[in-house]
Each structure stands twice: as C-alpha cells, then as structure tokens.
Chain A
Amino acid sequence: MALTEAQRCLDCPNPTCMEGCPVSINIPSFIKNIERGEFGKAAKVLKMTSSLPAVCGRVCPQEKQCESKCMHLKMGKKAVAIGSLERFAADYAREHGELSAPVIAPAKGIKVAVVGSGPAGLSFAGDMAKMGYDVTVFEALHEIGGVLKYGIPEFRLPNAIVDVEINTLEQMGVKFVKDCVIGKTLSIADLEADGFKGIFVASGAGLPNFMNIPGENSINIMSSNEYLTRVNLMDASNPESDTPMRIGKRVAVVGGGNTAMDSVRTALRLGAEKAMIIYRRSEAEMPARLEEVKHAKEEGVEFLTLHNPIEYIADENGCVKQIVLQKMELGEPDASGRRSPVPIEGAIETIDIDTAVVSVGVSPNPLVPTSVEGLELGRKNTIAVNEKMQSSIPTIFAGGDIVRGGATVILAMGDGRKAAASMDEMLSAK
C-alpha cells in the first residue's frame, strides 16, 4: 500500500511540497526511498531534518502544509498522502530497530540549557547534541515530552513513540532533569552561574483560557488541559491510579481545535453516552486537523457548531447540570479572514450535561518570562524574539508556543532547530 502510494509521487524537480513544510523535510527523497523498498533509509532522510518524524506523521496538519502544495492538486487530483508515508517510514524504522543514532560531532565542552521538554525543547536538544554541545533539559513535570505526553492522548500518539525519541536523545548524551521549574527551583541566573552558556526557553503555552461566563467555576467543569492531564499523565481512568476522575456520561467540549477533538474522543473512550463538540463558528472554520474531525464524527461525537456557551447552571451541590447555548450565524469575515459568528437574537438552547471541558485556547506560561528581569515580552506574555529566535537578552533564545501562543508541534520543532543553529553561531563566534 505504501509502495503504491509512494509511486504516486512525481518527484518534482522543484518540490513545492517542501515549501509547505515548516522544517523543510526533503519530502520527495524520503518517498522515493520508500518506493525502492529502503524504508530504513527513508526514515534516515526524515531524521536529517525532523527529530520526531513518527510524531509529526501523527500530529501535523498535513492538509494545510505539505499536502496542500502537492503538484497533484494543481492537476485536479488528490495530493500524495505525505503524512501517512512519513508515519509509515518512521514506524517501520522504529519497529525494526533501524534507528540509526545520528553521528555526533566531538564534544565541545560547552554547556547549554533547555527549559521545557516539549517538541521545541527536544528538537533543539537533538540538534545541539549532534553539534557536540553538552545539553541539559529541565522539565517542570515528572514526565518528559510536554504536550506530547500530557496533552495529546495515547490513542492518537502512543507514549512509547515519544519515549523512543527521548531515549535516542539520551543515547546522544542529552541529560534530562525532571521536577525542576525554571524560575522557581532554579532561576535563569542560577543556570548562568552553573556555567550554562546559552539557554533555550521552550516552556510552552501552559495557561488554559476560560471564557469567564457565569457558572464556569462549577464542579465538573474543567480545562482540556486538566481533563487530558488527568487521563494521560496521571492515568486517572486506570483504577490503580490514585488520581481521581469523575466519568462523565454527558460531556460537552467547548472549542474546535485539536485539543477539543482529543478531549471529546477521550470522553467517548471513557464511557460517555453523549459527547458533544460545541463551537461558535461553523465546521469550515474549525482549526482542528481534518482527520481528527473525521474520526470524531465516525466515532459518534455530536457537533453543535454555531453554538456559543453563555452560562452554566449548577445543581444544589454546585455540580454543573446544564449548559446554556446561544445560537449563532456567520457574519462578515473578521481580521483573521474567518467569518465571525454573530448571535441570533432570542435563539437560546439549554442542554443537560454532567461534565464540561473548556478548550478555548491557551496562553503562554508566564513562569519563565516574568522571572527574568529585562526580558522583552510580546503579545500576551509571549517572549519576543528576532528572526534568529534570540530574545532581548543575547544568551537567551526561545521558541515554540512560548513565542507563538498556542501553535503546532511542527512549528515548535522548526523553532527548536532554528534556535539551535543560531545559538551555535553565537557560541562559535566567541
């Protein structure tokens, strides 16, 4: 099947698909390696530019990136399934132990620190280790992987896949320090005093947004981060775990992104009888990957699009029992080009629920930004960086969601790579 699909790729002289890839994976090369049956080598091609290919194959919105630029589309045909092929090659290599640990340059004896072990931090760590730096990654939680571990559920991205990538990094000499909150346990100044010459901040967009509507602090209403963390990181649905979790029977998930899809599909898997997506725009505007929306629908999730929650009603114990929805219609396109929803007057609907998961975006985690004096901040507490991912303090670089607000895995990885290249340039120049 993969062979047949690989055959579809035209191996264009000017591969437009690569323009669509934030880390410029050499797409035709890896696909052609698949075609000739050299799956391991295909994986090697992927490894050259992407430190986490098995992950990307699963979480990238390919239909908006590489596949959207595929020549086939210009000819009125369907794009080559680049994402699936990427996943295929990476999985093959992993399952057949054909994971060639990358060649590492001789040790430079220069220490660099990474704050946060999500995709941005991991890809930075991988690149720096390859160049011979002595890399230490500091992570606040008790698990390495950031959103890949605590957010994206097992059914979409098995933890084992992430662990393989982390093991590879460990083999390359990257050190991981868990339970260490930079800005709290250790400050950036402590790191510098410890001899770290460069610091890459990849602390993610940790802070969940709420809508600030009446009743939102009722019991059994939680952020998607809390919901997914309880299930993924703390294993709350496993009877052997100590972390409690109330299993909702009628679950409303508010939002239309990947996080919302992950939450709603998780709710189904935990035994919800009714699992709903509530989204204030129409389906066409949903930021989630196409595939996720499709899966959610196939699995029986109800979609209430053009519905916006305006209130939660709680029972006498303070537990949520109803969600009040304002029906919307699409108005004129807004600044982002998306047609903004406007309320239909008087069209209000009340639905019985026992659990609500709020998944309306995240803001950057303020822990690091606010702990460093003189660090210039951008919009909404993001860290401001130049095109080299360098902050206003020359030794501090940053990338991923802490710079972009909630973005994507592949962009975070791209940032990590770029920051690694620039930091190397800076440290070599000295």
Chain B
Amino acid sequence: MYKIVSKEQFSQNVFRLCVEAPLIARACRAGNFVIVRIADKGERIPLTIAASDAEKGIITLVVQRVGLSSTRLCELNEGDEILDVVGPLGQPTHIENHGTVVCAGGGVGVAPMLPIATALKKAGNRVISVLAGRSKELIILEKEVRAVSDEVIIMTDDGSYGDKGLVTEGVERVIKREKVDKCFAIGPAVMMKFVCLLTKKYEIPTEVSLNTIMVDGTGMCGACRVTVDGKTKFVCVDGPEFDGHKVDFDGMLKRLAAFKDMEREEIEKYNDVHCEADPAQNEDAELIDRNAEWRVALRGKMKAKDRTNIERCVMPELDPVYRARSLR
C-alpha cells in the first residue's frame, strides 16, 4: 500500500498527488514512470513521475481525470492508500548539454516535462519552455517551470492566457529567432505529432515521450507497442522516449482511439454504480458524462449487453477431465 501524503488540485480535472514510495523515490530519474493499480479489480495505468524526493521517500504524480482509473485515483484523498505502485519504469531521459533546447509541454504533459527541463538546465543548457493548453485554466506548473527555464512562452487555444495559438506556433517562433539544438515534446499524441512535423522541417532532433496503452509495464505483453523507424518497439521498456521524427504517430493514434470506446463503457458501468449511490459525486459523474456523447454511449450500451452475455461463458469452469479424475 502506498499512502497519499498530499493532494492539490491544479485545475478542474488536474490533480497533484504526492505518494509515499521510498524505494521508487530513491531509484527514479527524469523520464521514468510508474504503473499504478488503485484497488482490487482496478486496471494497471502508467503515470509519469513528475518529481521525487529521495530523502522524504515521496514521488509526485500529476493526474488528469480522463478515464475510469484516473477518475478513481483523483477521488482519493490525503491519507488514502493506493494498492500498487510499481517503478520506476522505462529508460531515463538522456541528459547532456545540447546548447539551446526547447521544451514543449502540452496539457498535463508539462508535469513529466518538468523533471526533464530541470535536469537539462542543470546540465548547462539554455532552456526555453513552451507551455500550451486549451485555456488559462489548463496551464499547470507555470511557476515551477519558470524556475528552471531561461524563458517561458505560454500558448492557449482561446487566448485566455499568454498568446493565442497552438504549441507549434510558440515553438516555431523560437526556431525562427535563434538556433535551437534540440527539442523535447511531451503532451497528447496529436500535439507531439505536429511538433515533430515542424521540427523535422527545420531538422532539429526531437525527443518525445509516448503515452501508449500499457498493461504490465515490464515488457511482457506488447500492448504498448509502437512502430519506430519501421520497427516494433515496446514503449514501456524501450521508451517511453523516442526520436520523434521516427515514430509512426498515425498508427499510435489509431491504437489509442481503439481503447477509448472501451473506456467509455467502463465509465458508464462506473457511473451506474456511483451516481445514485453518492449524490455528492454527481458533479464528477457529469463531468465524465460529458466526455461520452450520447451516440457513443448508445453504442457502448449495446456492447455492455455483450459483456453481460459473457457471464454465461464457462471461463473459470474446471476441465471436466480434471473433475472426473480429481478424487474418485
């Protein structure tokens, strides 16, 4: 069991959790992630380690409430315990003095970007950070990023904070202005894809940190596989960071989309149970409901029915041959 020692809300859907995990805190380096399982019957989800304090034995996770498990996680409070936290997993970021680096972080991607920017700064780089989000509310960790950056550019889709525009516009502005030796991009897959298209044009080497579906996180299942440079790679052991110019983002986006529908079904199941049981959570439930448009929900319901059909399957049934031979 891993205790949550503090919890802070960054924005409506983004939370920072500090979790007691002394061994992981001691071993972790920038770029590593953990696999978290919230409770029995919970799924295993990957989360990047946003910060760690080896002395206090604490790691910091920044969680966005999107799917079922992240919602459950965000509902936990200070003092609550998480069932399983495994890590630190993945290859740590390769840090060296490149010269001038641009760190582009989109949405919660800013959280995993922070330790990388910190390490890059320490290694002597000139660090220019570009933070992007849909609106002011979704720009997180600005103060912390400023502390380790030589310059910070903020971009919002709606112009409610910083400059109006996409992350790529912010990055391009820097590239056009001065020589950039290296770029790091972390955020939603689409955002990384477009940053990479841009930096490819200017021939700036770019590292991305991929957030694929994972199950075990130790290289055992292949759920996390992506195509990089024409070869199949496992994000959990070979990554999570890759040369962004070689990643097949379109393939990855499709794989991510495939699980979204399933996730919606799981959330509906969850809402079924929780909405009525606890009116206080109605607000949260509504938030999630919004994610699921009614059409998708309808489609999901059909499948949910499919699922109940499973009950009839004989999965845990003992082999008749075994039964026949066991004992008499």
Q: Note all chain B residues with C-beta closer than 8 A to A271.
A: 309-310, 312-313
**Alpha-carbon separation in the docked complex, A178 to B37 (Å):** 12
Given contacts A142-B37, A223-B221, contact A247 B307 (CB under 8 A): yes
Tell me, yes or no, whether B299 is within 8 Å of chain A by CB.
no
A332–B185 alpha-carbon span in the complex (Å): 53
Residues 137-164 (chain A) with a chain B CB within 8 angstroms? 140-142, 150, 153-156, 158
B241 CB → nearest A CB, Å? 16
A217 within 8 A of B: yes
Q: Is A286 an interface residue (CB 8 A)?
A: no
Q: With A87-B325, A237-B310, A242-B41 known to touch, is A318 a contact of B222 (CB < 8 Å)?
A: no
Q: Which of A220, A242, A366 contacts B219 (CB 8 A)?
A: A366
Q: Does B77 contact A (CB under 8 A)?
A: no
Known contacts A208-B222, A210-B232, A241-B41: does B215 contact A226 (CB below 8 Å)?
yes
Chain B residues in 8 Å Cβ range of A150: 220
Query: Given the complex of chains A and B, what is the CA–CA distance between A207 and B220 in angstroms?
Result: 5
Q: Please, which residue of chain A has its CB at the minimum distance from the CB of B238?
A: A366
Contacting pair A212 B254 (CB below 8 A): no
Q: Verify B84–A142 contact, CB threshold 8 A.
A: yes
Q: Is A88 an interface residue (CB 8 A)?
A: yes
* Partner among A178, A247, A319 whose Cβ is within 8 Å of the Cβ of B84: A178
Please report the C-alpha to C-alpha distance between residue A239 and residue B322 in the assembled complex, in whole angstroms.
27
**A241 CA / B41 CA spacing, docked (Å):** 5
Tell me whether A181 and B89 are in contact in the complex, defined as CB-CB below 8 angstroms, given that A87-B325, A186-B27, A226-B215 are known contacts. yes
Judge whether A1 is part of the interface by a CB distance below 8 angstroms: yes
9-residue interface stretch from A63-71, A228-236, A385-393: A228-236
Please tell me if the beta carbons of B308 and A318 are within 8 angstroms of each other in the complex.
Answer: no
CA distance A270 to B310 in the complex (A): 6
Interface residue A225 (Cβ < 8 Å from any Cβ of B): yes
A382 contacts the other chain (CB 8 A): no
Q: Type the 1/0 row for A234-271, where 1 means its CB is closer than 8 Å to any CB of B.
A: 11011111111111000000000000000000100111
Known A-B contacts A155-B318, A234-B44, A367-B219; A184 and B225 likewise in contact (beta carbons under 8 Å): no
Using a CB-CB cutoff of 8 Å, which residues 11-43 of chain B contact chain A?
A: 23-24, 27, 37, 41-43
Residue of A nearest to B260 (CB): A244
- In the complex, what residues of B have CB within 8 A of residue A318's CB? 251, 254-255, 257-258
Beta-carbon nearest neighbor of B67 in chain A:
A242
Interface residues of chain A, those whose CB is within 8 Å of chain B, are 1-2, 58, 84, 87-88, 91-92, 95, 140-142, 150, 153-156, 158, 178-181, 184-187, 190, 206-208, 210, 212, 216-220, 222-223, 225-226, 229-231, 234-235, 237-247, 266, 269-271, 291, 295, 317-319, 365-367
- A-B contact list, 27 entries, CB within 8 Å: A1-B328, A2-B325, A87-B325, A141-B86, A142-B86, A155-B316, A179-B85, A184-B87, A185-B86, A185-B88, A186-B27, A206-B219, A208-B222, A216-B232, A220-B258, A226-B223, A229-B220, A242-B43, A242-B68, A242-B72, A243-B44, A243-B215, A269-B314, A269-B317, A318-B254, A318-B255, A367-B218
